[in-house]
């Protein structure tokens, strides 16, 4: 909560930590009650691919925690995104991510999501850290 500006119903992280090699490890368990499952698809709910990208992005925010003060992370791009497996209610998504490049306040992160060790989604996520407007 300290590093993410997201709150319910868009908070999609249950746990995240960074290891000694600056790799983020995180997880989110799909309960089946999420708003995005209500119409995707009735009778056979599947987590939408764009939501898998959002889950990976939120989990990777820990990688830029030193730069987040007064800033909001916005997606700047999604590259080489691939979806390999459906994610359904009851699945626990395990995310791994690492920064591959940085240009000023734009960060490029290689991320992957797995369920039971099986790859669900992967790609390069880029984030721009933008100054938070004064409220």
Residues labelled catalytic? 40
Query: Rg of the chain's alpha carbons, rounded to an integer?
Result: 15
- CA 93/CA 105 separation, integer angstroms: 28
HEC readout, 71-107: EEEEEEEEEEEEECCCCCCCCEEEEEEEEEEEECCEE
Among 58, 124, 116, 60, smallest CA distance to 87 is for: 116
Among 36, 26, 43, smallest CA distance to 114 is for: 26
């Amino acid at each position: 909560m300290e590093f993410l500006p997201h709150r319910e119903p868009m908070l999609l992280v249950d746990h995240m930590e960074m290891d000694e090699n600056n790799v983020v490890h995180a997880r989110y368990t799909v309960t089946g009650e999420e708003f995005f499952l209500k119409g995707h698809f009735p009778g056979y709910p599947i987590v939408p691919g764009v939501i898998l990208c959002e889950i990976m992005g939120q989990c990777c925010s820990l990688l830029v925690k030193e730069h987040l003060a007064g800033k909001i992370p916005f997606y700047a791009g999604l590259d080489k995104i691939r979806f390999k497996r459906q994610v359904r209610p009851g699945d626990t998504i395990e995310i791994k991510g690492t920064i591959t490049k940085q240009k000023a306040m734009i960060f490029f992160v290689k991320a992957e999501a797995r369920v039971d060790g099986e790859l669900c989604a992967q790609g390069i996520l880029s984030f721009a850290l933008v100054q938070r407007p004064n409220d």
